[in-house]
Structure 1
Amino acid sequence: MRLVPSFRRLGSPVLVCLVVAVLAACGDGPDRPVADERAFVSITDVDPTIIVDARYYGDHNFIGSRIAGYEAPKCLLTRQAAAALARVQQELRPMDLTLKTYDCYRPQRAVDEFVAWAKDLGDVRMKAEFYPNVDKADLFRDGYIAAKSSHSRGSTVDLAIVALPAAESERYQEGEPLRACFLPAEQRFRDSALDFGTGFDCFDPLAHTANPAVGGTQRALRALLTEVMSEHGFANLAEEWWHFTLRQEPFADTYFDFPVR
């Protein structure tokens, strides 16, 4: 007796269902994008006009040195986030504006370094610029440092807007006098970005997106950035005017650790 019917006898609908089930089990089906480095792309491969200022690849950041996992000055994002960001850029370019990214995908090992640094209360070499009014012992309590970051999921980006033609950014030299990140634009570190009221990674309430203490021009720029990013699927983090996450991020529960390379 023939106990197992052939696929031909079962008919094509059953065969299709079996194939779909096998693909889903393998994790590569259309509704389950592959959860590894292949799901990411460099933003300049999608839109080469976007400026990349990879702060954690260099030493001009709140730690003062290159961060673990940053092996190249690139902005890596999930393909979905990169495509959405390219659409934001397409909207800004006719206004002689361009996006500039500071950080994109962040390996978990980088987050681990942030946590270890925050526990070392004696290392305050960059305090005068990035957190002059915050006691380092309070960085966890105040939410500036955490054990997990949405950046590690690959669809979060830190960025600003630059007017074209882009001005040259000031070059940071280790050991030079530091200037508080919340000072007026002409007094703090000279970034090529428009004046959003603070510098990037400013651990201060003035960096909160809707802080009414920010000047009118700066509020307008924050509103422009938030609006155009929102139109293309990104949500802002209220505590950081520069921080946006794709609402429909493909890996909402996955924290990656491959290096930026």
Structure 2
Amino acid sequence: MTINTVGNLVQLNEKYHSIALDIAYAGSNNFTGKPIYKSDVSYIHSEALECLLKAIELLKPLNLRLKVWDAFRPMAAQEILFNHMPDPNYVGNPRTGLCPHCRGVAVDLTITDRYGRELEMGTLFDDFRPLAHHGNDLVSEEAQRNRLLLAGVMNVAGFKPMDTEWWHYQLPDLVKYPIISKDDTPEGII
């Protein structure tokens, strides 16, 4: 088995990248209640993958792993998600052109223990309330510690957080990375 690449995008693969994949928008267990992607194949920009691999290595001595819910997102999917939740504090407005997921440089993820159980983070993924914001002290102390661990690991690895979502990390300098066009989107995602 080889790793698939399309332009600057590299397919995430549990076998090669020592992560767990649970691509939320490939099934109906997401905030829209329906599948957005055709498959659970996920891609990420090669530079973001380098940083993700650093984060993986930082967690290994702690017997912890990363679980990825989303990475590269085609613009068509971004439009569906924004139409369902038109709040740019949580879902990027495709008309603004920012959209880090559509550039392949953002990843939504959490930490799991060595048995694959997600660490307590205080909210579920895609919880669009202030409770999901970084620094919210209304979540348990355990959740606060786990969020800080995730933030620290991702920061050291080269990512920056999104203030309103504890699970969202992206590379800095977004404008350096163009939005992936429909023609350059890997087949079978949407």
**TM-score bucket of the superposed structures, by smaller chain:** 0.7 to 0.9
CA contact under 8 A between 1:80 and 1:250: conserved in structure 2?
no
What aligned pairs does 1:208-223 form with structure 2 within 5 A after superposition?
Answer: 208-223=133-148
Residues 146 and 165 (structure 1), Cα distance of their counterparts in 2 relative to 1, 3 Å cut: closer
Residue 206 of structure 1, CA deviation: 0.3
Equivalent pairs, count = 178
Residue 201 of structure 1, CA deviation: 0.3
Residue 251 of structure 1, CA deviation: 4.4
Q: Which residue of structure 1 lines up, in the alignment, with residue 78 of structure 2?
A: 111
Q: Which residue of structure 2 lines up, in the alignment, with residue 96 of structure 1?
A: 63
Q: Which residue of structure 2 lines up, in the alignment, with residue 240 of structure 1?
A: 165
Normalising by structure 2, report the TM-score: 0.85
Q: Which residue of structure 2 lines up, in the alignment, with residue 56 of structure 1?
A: 25
In percent, how many aligned pairs have the same letter?
30
Residue 227 of structure 1, CA deviation: 0.6
Gaps of 5+ in 1: 1-35, 119-138, 167-191
- Is 1:144 aligned to residue 90 of structure 2? yes
User: Counterpart amino acid of 2:64?
Assistant: L
Range that drifts further, 221-230 or 45-54: 45-54
Per-residue deviation, residues 148-207 of structure 1 (Å, max 9, x unmatched)? 2210010100000000122xxxxxxxxxxxxxxxxxxxxxxxxx3111000000011100
Residues 92 and 56 (structure 1), Cα distance of their counterparts in 2 relative to 1, 3 Å cut: same
Residue 260 of structure 1, CA deviation: 6.1
Residue 101 of structure 1, CA deviation: 0.4
Q: Which residue of structure 1 lines up, in the alignment, with residue 132 of structure 2?
A: 207
Q: Which residue of structure 1 lines up, in the alignment, with residue 107 of structure 2?
A: 157
CA contact under 8 A between 1:153 and 1:252: conserved in structure 2?
yes
Residues 54 and 260 (structure 1), Cα distance of their counterparts in 2 relative to 1, 3 Å cut: farther
Separation in 1 of the partners of 2:24 and 2:80?
15
Residue 84 of structure 1, CA deviation: 1.1
Residues 46 and 229 (structure 1), Cα distance of their counterparts in 2 relative to 1, 3 Å cut: farther
User: Counterpart amino acid of 1:145?
Assistant: V
Normalising by structure 1, report the TM-score: 0.63
Instruction: Report the secondary structure of 1:161's partner residue.
Output: strand
Residues 254 and 48 (structure 1), Cα distance of their counterparts in 2 relative to 1, 3 Å cut: closer
Gaps of 5+ in 2: none
Separation in 1 of the partners of 2:156 and 2:75?
29
The structure with the larger Rg is 1
Residues 78 and 146 (structure 1), Cα distance of their counterparts in 2 relative to 1, 3 Å cut: closer
CA contact under 8 A between 1:57 and 1:72: conserved in structure 2?
yes
Residue 111 of structure 1, CA deviation: 1.0
